Every structure is written in structure tokens, then in C-alpha cells.
Amino acid sequence: MSTVCGSGASTKSTKAGLLEATRAASGSLGARKATYGFLFASPDADLGAALTTAREATGAEIIGCTTAGEITERGLTHGGFAMLLVAADTTAQVQFAEGLKERHRDVTEAILAGVADMKKKAAAKDQRHLTTVLLTDGLAGTGERLVNDLYEQRVQSASQIVGGAAGDEGRFSATLVGAGSARPDSAVALHVFSANPWGLGVDHGLRPTTKPMRVTKAEGNVVHEIDGEPAFAAYKKHAAARGIVLTPESAGTYMIGNELGIHFFDKISRARAPLSVAADGSLTCAGDIPRGSMVSILDGDREQMLAAALSAAQQAKVGLNGAKAAGVLLFDCVCRGMILKDAFDREVAAVRSVFADTPIAGFLTYGEIARSSDKLGGWNNTTAVVVAIAA
């Protein structure tokens, strides 16, 4: 039986808004009943209550998180819900775990619980492709370590991990993920074994605006020094050259719009979002930056970023190995929304140009997840991750 998807959206963060999005997504499934789904909610919504209501209304397993903006094929909205429901004859399972910040290895074990048994059931139905859709607390700082641990301990060779880190509309106060209930400092995963592989595409279109600088002191996701000076000094100089006086208190939006890029020879291999500045001038980032790394402060040209979204969509289509896409998940960084502003709908249009008449849902994230045998970065910032669900 083929896979069918339906999307729905609302600009209201109330129960009425949730039901509006749910009815729209369910209506696109025809007579089929949803098997599982994804709910992306404004931080103004009661995510736990919304997840419970969505599950009761659809009978499906629903995972979700708070966002910095909600996406469907209709475009980007704020303050409401985006939903994708999937009706499929696949083998699927949800796992949820708390304690991501201090106990990410325990979270890894909890997220993988039962997957080995799933593999046996899926093999009997010739479902040998595993995709894990992972949603994490966007402020924990250990999401990258979780992704790496999950991939290293995977139980299926034909596997990939995709997803995003929850947001809270740039407040950087608290982000929630869940299934049934919703919590901070947590991760939730939906494991899906399918007969056809899901397509995956990743691209960013960013460019360095500074010469390469060396990270001379760092620990995990905290960068203490760049070129022997407090890390924040690099941002103060960068802002001053643009006529902006930057303080630790005012730096959040500026740093999100001008993230740190980690060099791999002459290319930017990945971007890292600085989330806060400490009293000693150190930067707490959304992912790890090892000591000794060469970094630059990045900026994005609109046309290059839009081209990157198109590239990610095209990669995802190729990854389907000739199958059609039933639906698309789009995990896109909050800073891309900040840079593109009103042009962000052109990014959605770029994805739609590859997947015409295909339901799309996603959100603006605090980190984008894409890890597979040929996508080695794992944890990204300022990046578009396109996931095509095979029909």
C-alpha cells in the first residue's frame, strides 16, 4: 500500500487552531487513517495539550516541538501550527527521553530502545530502510553529541537521522519537544522502517565575511577564545566594522544572523549558532566547535541561500531512487528566516518547484539534523534540510 501525506496549518495557537490544522491534514488523506505525524507549534501554544488533542483526533503517533516559525507548502507563518500526517504501511515507533543536557548518552539508549526488535518485524515485510526523525531541545547544547551517538550505535546499515532542534521565536528562553506530553531538556524520535528510501538533501549557501581565525580555547559547545582573545571580541570587531556597537546583552540577534563557520580546507563544512555571551566573553553555541578549528563569521547572500534550498530539494529527490515523494519535511534555520525576511517564501517555492503538488511541513529551527552515509555533518546551523518521504 502506498504512502499518502497531508498537511495543515493555522495561524491561531489555540485548540481551535490545532483542530483547524488537523482537519486540513486529515482531509488530504482521503479514506486513509494517519499512521504517524509531525506537529510544529508556536511557543505560545500549549504543546503538550496540542499533541494529546492531535493524537486523540487522528489515532496516530504524533511527535512535535515548539518553533521559531511554522512552514507548510503555503509558506511561513508565526504564532500557530503546522502539521504533516502520514498514512503508510511502514514499521514505526516513537521514543522520548529527558535529560539531554547532562545525560545525552542515557538519552541515546532510551531513543534506541526497541529499534532492534523493530528491525526484525520490518525485515519480514522487506522494509530495510530506516529513517529516524529526531527533534531535540534547541537550547541543550548537546544535540550534536546525541546525533553522533545515535548514528554510531545504529542497528541498520541503510539508515539516516534527520530533524531539527526546537525553537521559541528567538527568545532563547525555553524550547519543548514531546509526544503526548512536552518537556524541555528532552529529545523525541520517530523511527520509520520503509521499503523505499527517503530522500535527504542539505545545503546552506553561506559565505565567510572574515579571514579564517583559530579557536584557541574551547570546551564542548563553549568557545572561550578565538586567536587568543575572548571569543566575543571577534564579533565586536565584526560589528564595529559595520558601524554597530555590540554588547553581550544586545548580541543575540546579530550573532544568529552572522554565525560561525567551521572550515574544512577552503570550504565551510558547517555553521554554528552562538546562543549567548558569558561574562568572560566566551560564546555558548548550538553545537560543538573543537579547539584548533579554523572559523570565520558568515553571512548569507539571498540568491545563494535560495539556490542552496533548491539544491537541497534536488538532492532529496535524487535520494528517492526513482520513487515519488508523498510528502516533504523542511527543517530550516531561524537565521535563514532572519536573513531572507519576506523572501523566505521564495525558499519554500524553491522546494515546491522540485516537489510540485506535494504536502510540505516543517519549521524554523535552532539546529538542523542530517546524518547518513554520505551526509557526514550531522548537526547544522543556517542550513536547509529537505526530507522527501517516499510514496
Separation CA 234–CA 213 (nearest Å): 9
Q: Which amino acid is at 115?
A: V
Task: Tell me if 38 sits within 8 A of 13, measured CB to CB.
Answer: no
User: Grid coordinates in use for 55?
Assistant: 493524537
Q: Is the pLDDT of residue 300 over 80?
A: no
pLDDT tens by residue, 314-366? 999 999 999 999 999 999 999 889 888 899 999 999 999 999 999 999 999 99
What pLDDT shows up at residue 127?
Answer: 94
| 3-class DSSP assignment, residue 4 | strand
51 phi and psi angles, rounded to 5 deg: -65, -40
Section 261-276 average pLDDT: 84
Task: Tell me if 316 sits within 8 A of 328, measured CB to CB.
Answer: yes
What pLDDT shows up at residue 176?
Answer: 98
Q: What DSSP element (H or E) covers 377?
A: none
Q: Which amino acid is at 206?
A: L
Separation CA 263–CA 212 (nearest Å): 8
- The chain-wide mean pLDDT, for the chain, equals 94
88 phi and psi angles, rounded to 5 deg: -155, 150
pLDDT tens by residue, 356-371? 999 999 999 999 999 9
Separation CA 92–CA 112 (nearest Å): 13
What pLDDT shows up at residue 291?
Answer: 96
Pairwise pLDDT comparison (121 vs 266), residue with the higher score = 121
Q: Is the pLDDT of residue 273 over 90?
A: no
| 3-class DSSP assignment, residue 48 | helix
Separation CA 281–CA 230 (nearest Å): 5
122 burial (CB, 10 Å; 0-12 / 13-18 / 19+) is: buried
Q: With b meaning 16 or more CB within 10 Å and e meaning fewer, what string describes 337-350?
A: bbbbeeebebbbeb
CA geometry: angle at 151 spanning 63 and 35, to 5°? 30
Q: What is the pTM of this model?
A: 0.89
237 phi and psi angles, rounded to 5 deg: -65, -40
Task: Tell me if 98 sits within 8 A of 111, measured CB to CB.
Answer: no
pLDDT tens by residue, 101-155? 999 999 999 999 999 999 999 999 999 999 999 999 999 989 999 999 999 987 6
Task: Tell me if 72 sits within 8 A of 80, measured CB to CB.
Answer: no
Q: Is the pLDDT of residue 373 over 90?
A: no
pLDDT tens by residue, 146-175? 999 999 987 677 799 999 999 999 898 999
From the CB of residue 322, how many other CB atoms can be counted at a distance below 10 Å?
A: 8
Return the DSSP state at 391: -
CA terminus-to-terminus distance, the chain: 9
Q: Is the pLDDT of residue 296 over 80?
A: yes
Place of cell 530502545: 113
What pLDDT shows up at residue 133?
Answer: 98
What are the Cα distances from residue 391, in Å, to 56, 214, 324?
A: 25, 46, 5
Range of lowest pLDDT (172-176, 209-213, 272-276): 272-276
Q: How confident is the model at residue 313 (pLDDT cuts 50, 70, 90)?
A: very high
pLDDT tens by residue, 69-96? 999 999 999 999 999 999 999 999 999 9
Separation CA 25–CA 211 (nearest Å): 47
Q: Is the pLDDT of residue 27 over 80?
A: yes
User: Grid coordinates in use for 41?
Assistant: 507549534
Separation CA 287–CA 299 (nearest Å): 18
Task: Tell me if 114 sits within 8 A of 93, measured CB to CB.
Answer: yes
